[in-house]
Amino acid sequence: MLQTLDIEHRLKSTLDEFVADWGLDAEITAETWLVEDLGFDSIDVIQFIVAVETAFDKRNVGFQELIMQDGRYVDDLSVGQMATFLEARLPAA
Amino acid sequence: MTKTLLLGLDGATFTVLDGFMKEAGEEGVVMPYLAQLVKTGYSAPLKSTAHPLTPPAWTSVSTGRTPGHHGIYDFVRFEDLGKDVYFTLYDSRDIRVETFWQIAGRQGKSVVSLNFPMLAPPPEVNGALVPGFVSWKHLRRNMHPKSLFDRIKAIEGFDAQELSWDFEREGQIGEIMPDAELHDWVEGHLPRDKQWFNIGLALLSEDQPDIFALMLDGVDKIQHQAWHRLDPKYWHPDEADEAAHKVRQVVLRYYRELDTYIERLHKAAGPDVHLVIVSDHGFTGAEKVVRINRYLGELGHLTWAKSDGSEAAKRRDLANFANLDWENTQAFCPTPSSNGVVIRKQSEACPNGVPAAEYAAFRAKLIEDLLALEDPETGERVITAVQTREDAFPGAAMEDAPDLTLTLCDHGFVSVKNLEPAVVTRPVPMGTHHPDGIFVMTGPGVENRRGPAMSIVDTTTIVAHAAGMEIPKDFEGKIPATLYQPAHIAANPVKIGAAAGQNAAVKSDQEASDEQKEEVLAQLRMLGYLED
């Protein structure tokens, strides 16, 4: 398994690059929420998943299980939640 | 020096352009340069993909393959999880075959490809590629090469927000707008194509790629909303008020600007260039709303999701994809743009799906029921054709296509909303896609005539040949026999080469999927379910 800190670090740098042109002044941490803190809309979430899959060179990680819960799309996601999810899903580096 | 110039005009149709290429009273000739090209070159109707929709059709231009092979059917794809269905967007990783832009590079040709959809994340090409339909927030990451964004940013007048796809604005397509609002909505689209033109002109002049390709999609957007101010069938100037005339004027301004973009790009490419202008589909007016999921519900094939009244549930109801009780749904239409019906097959995850043994009979009865749907006002049938996926989309990617694809009596798109009645007349006709797009070509050896109907995949073969490439043997298009003068084709014969490759992303998915299968098999072996 990739370690949580490695994953978090790569997630944060992907997110830093992702929002580089958005004119935001927010420090990205594990507690950063995509919608509440960075103003993501649904298209941004989809694009971010593509960016994460590209950064980890792994498609079909199963993000739908993180995004859909009890038949509903979740309202928000944090960097920490994504890191925990990826830790469980990604094979050893 | 650029040899081949491909200009895509999303949704362009001779229904509108024929009138704009002629003298028409006070309006004059709206598109004199296009008129000259048609007069001196070759033109023909261009048949779109089996379902004439932007993502599959432009992907056919980008690959030379029909959707049954390239695997793109809609803007949105879904994964059936049994109890739920997860909707997301198609992207370039879903294209199963190598793109023409990559093939050209392998054959030593340089390319500039701008604004063709479904190409994000961008493939690596020998040149520059900016995919279409990308929000401004994601432009930088979605260009090839990575340094291209800073280069484009330096072009005078560049504005990322004007250039990019505005999901909120495009989401308004289909809403009834008063003329004053419609005027502003149309006017808001003019700067976008100008931005693409500016980038195109700069890269064409500076890079002089062997193949230059630019797609302009303002035609489609404007025709969707303002069709009743465009189509000679609906536009009656003597009956129109001032606000309606103002809409007509701003629409004409768009087409006049478009004509100058074509002229300036053509002239910038040089006199010996082969210029190919194509649209991904044509246009017509839709007068009916067909609420297909409502009808499927009345037939007993689907159950609507129950709303708990929460904000999330309201947002989901408003979204333009089916919101259903998935445990009690056997057949549904996923999105309005798909015009498709998906039959869910019985599986462990989907126990209430249609059993395999009953599939053929279920589908045959469903086709019969769909064709029987009538307009209560006229008694006429509203679905004129139902194609099975093996008829509409034969190929290795056929399994991803809807089981059935519908053609409505007015070529309209279906609605997936839970409203009644199932069929109703629109207050204002709305622009919708027609299978017949346009093909116009000029350049050395090109005949001067109007030819018979062609296929959209012919475009890629023609562009490859004009650029001096070998045609991959799995390309599905051909060079029409009437396109070139005999001496030209004799001096420049069509050379067939090796088949195009697979999309590397798909290949790696397949490998990953094989790895996962191996893991499952290993676990089953450990549990004693399988013998080695």
Q: Domain residue spans in chain A? A: 4-89
**Shortest CB distance from B512 goes to which of A22, A59, A67?**
A59
Instruction: Indicate yes or no: CB of A46 within 8 angstroms of CB of B89.
Output: yes
Interface ipTM > 0.90: no
Amino acid symbol at B142: N
Number of Cβ pairs < 8 A linking chain A and chain B = 57
Which candidate in B80, B138, B152 is best for mutational testing of the A interface (most A CBs within 10 A)? B138
Cβ distance of A50 and B167 shorter than 8 Å? no
Can you read off the two tokens belonging to residue B224? Answer: 């969707």
Q: Output the pLDDT for position A70.
A: 76
Residue position matching structure tokens 């490695």: A6
What is the pLDDT at residue A68? 85
B281: closest CA among B76, B57, B118? B57
Is B24 touching A (CB cutoff 8 A)? no
Q: What per-residue confidence (pLDDT) applies to A25?
A: 84
B-chain residues within 8 Å CB-CB of A18? 138, 141
Hey, is A33 helix, strand or coil? strand
The H or E element spanning position B6 is strand B4-9
pLDDT digits (tens, 9 = 90+) for B389-398: 999 999 999 9
The backbone torsions φ and ψ at residue B270, rounded to the nearest 5 degrees and listed phi first, read 105, 165
Low-confidence ranges of chain B (pLDDT < 50): 516-517, 519-532
- For CA atoms B238, B243, B244, B250, the dihedral sign is positive
Q: Give the integer Cα–Cα distance in Å for B372 and B388.
A: 17
User: Do B505 and A73 make contact, defined as CB atoms within 8 angstroms?
Assistant: no
Cα B45 from Cα B89, distance rounded (Å): 30
Residues 6 or more apart whose Cβ sits within 8 Å of residue B88: A46, A49, A64, B76, B77, B78, B79
pLDDT for res B520 = 43
Burial B292-320 (b: 16+ CB within 10 A, else e): bbbbbbebebbbbbeeeeeeeeeebeeeb
List, in order, residues 6 or more apart from B93 with CB less than 8 Å away: A50, A59, B121, B503, B505, B506, B509
* Strand runs labelled E in B174-258: 211-216
CA distances from B183 to B12, B191, B515 (A): 20, 14, 55
When CB atoms are compared, the residue of A17, A46, A64 closest to B141 is: A17
Please tell me the distance in Å from B305's CA to the nearest CA on chain A. Answer: 10
pLDDT score, position B320: 79
- The DSSP output letter for A56 is T
Name the token pair of B435: 């299978």
Task: Determine the residue type at B203.
Answer: L
What is the C-alpha separation between B162 and B152, in angstroms, rounded?
A: 13
Which CATH number fits the domain B287-431, given the four candidates 3.30.70, 1.10.3470, 2.60.40, 3.30.1360?
Answer: 3.30.1360
Write down the residue that tokens 């035609």 correspond to. Answer: B219
pLDDT at B2: 80
Q: Are B416 and B292 in contact (CB under 8 A)?
A: yes
| Residue range A4-89, CATH number | 1.10.1200.10
Residue B439, both tokens: 């093909």
Cβ distance of A43 and B81 shorter than 8 Å = no
Residue B357 DSSP class: G
Q: Which of B88, B320, B503, B519 to mutate to test the interface with A (most CBs of A within 10 A)?
A: B88
Q: Is B364 on the interface with A (CB under 8 A)?
A: no
Q: Which residues pair with B285 in a beta bridge?
A: B431
What's the one-letter identity of residue B116? F
**Would you call B139 an interface residue with chain A, using a CB distance cutoff of 8 Å?**
yes
CA atoms within a 13 Å half-sphere pointing along the CA-CB vector of B500: 29
Taking CA–CA distances from A74, the nearest residue in chain B reads B312
Q: What does the alpha-carbon distance between residue B282 and residue B456 come to, in Å, rounded to a whole number?
A: 11
- Could you say which residues of chain A have pLDDT below 70? 1-2, 92-93
Write out the E strands in B291-445: 331-332, 340-343, 383-388, 404-408, 423-434, 436-442
Search chain B and give the residue with CA nearest A45: B88
Task: Report which secondary-structure segment, H or E, holds B462.
Answer: helix B458-466
Q: How far is B109 from chain A (nearest CA, A)?
A: 27
Give the pLDDT score at B525: 46
Residues of chain B with Cβ-Cβ distance to A68 below 8 Å are 81, 84, 86
Q: Does B305 touch chain A (CB under 8 A)?
A: yes
Residue B491 CA to residue B445 CA, distance in Å, equals 10
Identify the CA nearest to B438 among candidates B2, B25, B37.
Answer: B37
Cα separation, B360 vs B403, in Å, equals: 11
pLDDT of B531 reads 38
Residue B193 CA to residue B253 CA, distance in Å, equals: 12
Whole-number pLDDT of residue B526: 45
Q: How many residues in chain B?
A: 532
Instruction: Extract the runs of DSSP E, i.e. beta strands, from B254-365.
Output: 274-278, 282-290, 331-332, 340-343
Comparing CB atoms, the residue among B84, B505, B512 nearest residue A71 is: B84
B512–A47: do the CB atoms touch at under 8 Å? no
d(CA B380, CA B376): 8
Phi, psi angles (nearest 5°) of residue B205: -70, -45
Q: To the nearest whole angstrom, how far is the Cα of A53 from the nearest Cα of chain B?
A: 11
CB contact under 8 A, B509 and A43: no
What does CATH list as the number for B4-70+96-281+439-470? 3.40.720.10
What is the pLDDT at residue B511? 54
pLDDT of residue B507: 60
User: For chain B, what are the domain ranges?
Assistant: 4-70+96-281+439-470, 287-431, 502-532
Q: What is the pLDDT of residue B508?
A: 59
Distance CA B374, CA B386 (A): 15
